Structure 1
């Protein structure tokens, strides 16, 4: 099943070239908060609140007429896996990988959805695209074994982990507003029984920069969930960005970034550099 948010917080099941509006059924009659009705549905499922959906009388909206939104507009946590492909490790000349570095957190306020723009902060600091498979947690996970880890997954989505190449730590460089595009929807885990064998491609300006298969992850999905849950409890609706392959590169005003992951979907966003300012004019800078 593919579940999307659209048209100001409506929740739909993707059925071919239409969205079936199941907001009232899956949101169970209550008003969702800022996290959105899909997050609310995931939490309800985690509590044992499974719902049989009858779509026979639901409104159908053509995908071409819908405005897609981030499926999880305010996830509880966005967890990132640095240097989780060997080719990216070589490309960036890192001596360490996720096995040495651990994971990091991105601000949930950095999330945007399909068709929105990544906003470049600086005119003179490179800002790169990083295309990644996103894992959406479906139930509370703490110290889970890798052998059981996929049982804790609700589904999968596309994630762009946008990064400024400056001197601050990862959580700062990756947490600017608009720096975590996700979507176009979430594909439930039953549709993707083998997340470690998916083709991934990321294009910028019509040119392919990144192409890989998730089989090349250093920590595969199950190992990554097991490791992360040994550090922090994962809750329903949290997202893990599994890491990016080689091919990261600078974004420029007017670029279109397209991330496609086999069996998951196609996420496209723009790039806006019209408000970028020099790095030395950032707030909080102090003379040395």
Structure 2
């Protein structure tokens, strides 16, 4: 199924050109303090397994809604910075990307965290954080965790996945640590919906692509990932407790490049979906940008 979040936190199932509103199937009453993770994503496996009488749910045309990020409240957003060999090569060849560092392998470099406040949906805009610095696009397959996971083996990893979505890991180039340069507001784009694992035969064999103003920039396949989806979950859960709604951005292939205000980015992942989003000017001068 394709689950979406739309029109100020309604929950829907996308079928063709219609969204079936299934909000009533979820408990949205919260107590304080809340458990870690996204409460809707935590309920998703049980709701999905129980089956839904979609035909009797109210519908709305997909074209008449505003789609939001399919995950509202991730406990954390985890990134895999150099998970394609071709991207490692281009990073080491581009001084604006490497800033004097030499990239070798993901295991040597480790994972990073993006701020949750960087998260936006497919119908928002990407506001450049720095007017005078390079911001790059990075298309990625995104894995959303469905239940609490710690020290998960790669053999068991697929049992912890709620679904997959398309992601943009927008990145400011510079000397700062990745968690700073990748965390401005709007620098994590997710959408257009969450596709449940039963819809994806093999997440390690999906085409992904990105264009800017219609120009092809990135085109690859997740079969080129250095660490595949199951291995990434094993790797991440060895360090972090993963909670429902946690986001793992699996890494970007070669072809990353700068965007400017006025650009339109289109990103897609095979059998998952596509999103189209605009880049707008920086809203203010960022302290420390000199």
TM-score (norm 1): 0.91
Q: How far did 1:39 drift?
A: 3.7
CA deviation vs aligned residue, 1:97-123 (integer Å, no higher than 9, x gap): 212111110011101101211111212
| Cα distance in 2 between the residues matched to 1:275 and 1:132 | 26
Distance 1:209 1:49, change over 3 A: closer
Aligned length: 278
State whether residues 80 and 106 of structure 1, in contact with CA within 8 Å, keep that contact through their aligned partners in structure 2: yes
**Partner residue of 1:127?**
135
Q: 1:183 aligns with which of 180, 191, 211?
A: 191
Residue in structure 1 matched with residue 10 of structure 2 by the alignment: 10
Q: What is the Cα deviation at residue 7 of structure 1? A: 1.1
Matched, 1:283 2:279: no
2:98 corresponds in structure 1 to: none
**1:68 corresponding residue in structure 2:** 67
Report the Cα offset of residue 51 of structure 1. 3.9
1:19 counterpart = 2:23? no
Asked if structure 1 preserves the Cα contact closer than 8 Å seen for 2:91 and 2:103, the reply is no
After the TM superposition, which segments of 4 or more aligned residues of structure 1 sit over 6 Å from their partners?
A: 46-49
CA RMSD of aligned residues (A): 2.2
Aligned to 1:199: 207
Distance 2:72 2:28 in 1: 20
Displacement of 1:283 after TM fit? 2.1
Q: 1:220 aligns to what?
A: 228
- Map of 2:278 onto structure 1: 270
Query: For the structure 1 residues 273 and 98, does the alpha-carbon distance in structure 2 shift closer, same or farther, using more than 3 Å as the test?
Result: same
The CA distance in 2 between the partners of 1:199 and 1:55, in whole Å, is 30
Closer, same or farther: CA 252–190 of 1 in aligned 2, 3 Å: same
8 Å Cα contact 2:79/2:248 also seen in 1: yes
Conserved? CA contact 1:32–1:40, under 8 Å: no
Q: 3-state SS of the aligned residue for 1:260?
A: strand
SS at match of 2:238: helix
Whether the 8 Å contact between 1:44 and 1:50 is mirrored in structure 2 is: no
- Paired residue for 2:259, among 243, 251, 267? 251
